[in-house]
């Protein structure tokens, strides 16, 4: 990333490229970074804090890099092509892991043993796949970023070959997502899928009522077929999970206790696990039974870096949504539909962040989604001669 960024700066200095700062997004992003950096000074372990802070700065630089390098619709097609191949790769790896009970790629090419897991669900033992990424939840979140973009490209009027590949990758990714058994990601993609379907049907039918009816029918059919045909999904949803879902409530109580005592600067970036036992007043002694940070990305930001930092992050998200919102009105634009798909990828993170700890500042896929939204907004603005606010 450093080499690529230096290369971009070299081209900017030679005036081969115009550099875009994207102030509407960069200003709240920098406020979020600065406040996170300030919280690092309050931490008990500076090494933990500043390691993560460096990764956060790297993620913001990645946003600037991709948002500046993507300049045309053809560039966006290249990104979608990369998404399609990546999803197909993870799908092949995930399916083979499932078929071989985890022996495929175990310990090869740096694939961790945690990439394949088994767990009890009621009286059943279920297998969960993580592809080459690692934990099944991480693979699920990665697929949730990519699938909405692939679906939007699939129904657009871009390159026909890439559209076909996107369709295949989206279907394969959907099957692999089921094999991860990540319920939070299922919910996140399900909500985003309905949003995206509504926008697609609204463009074809020119009617909100017909679009809503079609979304209900399609969602109901897919959900019913999945429940009926995939036994592991039925077990994961309806069998006893040994209070795994309920445990998020006492975890949230611990986070709220931390926020109540440290509302401004938090306990320090990446220092949640170091202090959480001192704030555990739950009946379950949750942090001792399950010694991990709260599985809610928003509470995690507020607990570690303070409420102002969380507000800065929400400001950033609002600014990104504002960049994509005008695309809802461009019914005949394939580029606008693709931008909505990118927004859908970000929405999956926002929803899954309520159920899992997925630190926003270092999530490269989240920042890549923001970069795609910013770049597509700029391209769409140029195509429509300023009809969108730049």
pLDDT in tens, 273-290: 889 988 888 877 777 777
Question: Hunting for tokens 């798909």 — which residue is that?
Answer: 341
- Structural domain contains residue 6: no
- Structural domain contains residue 10: no
List the chain pLDDT tens, one digit each, 390 residues.
566 667 666 666 666 667 888 999 999 999 999 999 999 888 878 888 888 999 999 999 999 989 988 988 899 999 999 999 999 999 998 998 898 887 776 666 556 666 777 877 777 888 889 888 888 988 999 999 999 999 999 988 888 999 999 999 999 999 999 999 998 899 999 999 999 999 999 888 888 899 999 999 999 999 999 999 898 898 888 877 655 666 778 888 999 999 999 999 899 998 988 899 888 888 777 777 777 888 899 999 999 999 999 999 999 999 999 999 888 887 778 888 899 999 999 999 999 888 877 778 888 899 999 999 999 999 988 877 644 443
pLDDT in tens, 100-133: 887 776 666 556 666 777 877 777 888 889 888 8
- Structural domain contains residue 74: no
* Same-domain pairing of 32 and 109: no
Among candidate residues 240, 261, 279, the one where a domain is terminated: 240
* Same-domain pairing of 36 and 60: yes
The tally of domains found in the chain comes to: 2
Burial 121-159 (b: 16+ CB within 10 A, else e): beeeebbbbbbbbbbbbbbbbbbbbbbbbbbbbbbbebb
* Same-domain pairing of 313 and 182: no
Among candidate residues 206, 221, 240, the one where a domain is terminated: 240
Per-residue model confidence (pLDDT) at position 2: 63
* Same-domain pairing of 37 and 53: yes
* Same-domain pairing of 236 and 170: yes
Among candidate residues 240, 263, 285, the one where a domain is terminated: 240
- Structural domain contains residue 7: no
* Same-domain pairing of 157 and 216: yes
The range of the structural domain enclosing residue 371 comes to 17-69+248-384
* Same-domain pairing of 166 and 269: no
* Same-domain pairing of 148 and 253: no
Per-residue model confidence (pLDDT) at position 388: 47
Question: What is d(CA 343, CA 337) in angstroms, rounded to the nearest whole number?
Answer: 10
pTM of the predicted structure, to 2 decimals: 0.88
């Amino acid at each position: 990333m450093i080499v690529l960024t230096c290369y971009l700066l070299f081209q900017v200095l030679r005036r081969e490229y115009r550099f875009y700062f994207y102030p509407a997004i960069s200003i709240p992003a920098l406020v979020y970074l600065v406040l996170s950096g300030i919280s690092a000074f309050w931490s008990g372990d500076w090494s933990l804090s500043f390691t993560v802070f460096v990764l956060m700065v790297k993620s913001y630089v990645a946003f600037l890099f991709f948002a500046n390098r993507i300049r045309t619709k053809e560039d966006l097609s290249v990104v979608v092509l990369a998404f399609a191949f990546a999803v197909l790769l993870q799908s092949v790896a995930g399916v083979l892991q499932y078929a071989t009970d985890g022996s495929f790629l175990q310990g090869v090419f740096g694939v961790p043993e945690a990439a394949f897991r088994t767990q009890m669900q009621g009286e059943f033992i279920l297998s969960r796949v993580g592809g080459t990424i690692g934990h099944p939840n991480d693979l699920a979140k990665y697929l949730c970023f990519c699938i909405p973009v692939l679906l939007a490209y699939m129904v657009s009027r871009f390159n026909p070959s890439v559209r076909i590949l996107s369709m295949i990758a989206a279907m394969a990714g959907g099957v692999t997502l089921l094999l991860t058994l990540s319920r939070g990601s299922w919910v996140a993609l399900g909500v985003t899928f309905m949003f995206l379907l509504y926008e697609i049907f609204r463009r074809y039918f020119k009617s909100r009522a017909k679009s809503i009816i079609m979304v209900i029918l399609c969602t109901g059919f897919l959900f019913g077929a999945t429940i009926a045909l995939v036994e592991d999904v039925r077990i994961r949803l309806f069998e006893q999970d040994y209070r795994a879902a309920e445990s998020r409530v006492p975890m949230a109580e611990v986070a709220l206790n931390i926020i109540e005592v440290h509302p401004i600067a938090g306990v320090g970036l990446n220092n949640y696990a170091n202090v959480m036992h001192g704030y555990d007043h739950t009946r379950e002694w949750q942090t001792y039974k399950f010694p991990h940070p709260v599985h809610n990305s928003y509470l995690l930001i507020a607990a570690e870096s303070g409420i102002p930092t969380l507000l800065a992050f929400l400001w950033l998200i609002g600014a990104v949504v504002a960049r994509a919102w005008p695309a809802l009105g461009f019914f005949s634009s394939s580029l606008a539909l693709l931008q909505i798909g990118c927004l859908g990828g970000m929405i999956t993170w926002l929803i899954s962040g309520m159920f899992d700890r997925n630190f926003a500042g270092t999530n490269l896929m989240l920042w890549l989604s923001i970069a795609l939204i910013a770049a597509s907004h700029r391209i769409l603005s140029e195509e429509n001669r300023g009809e969108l606010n730049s």
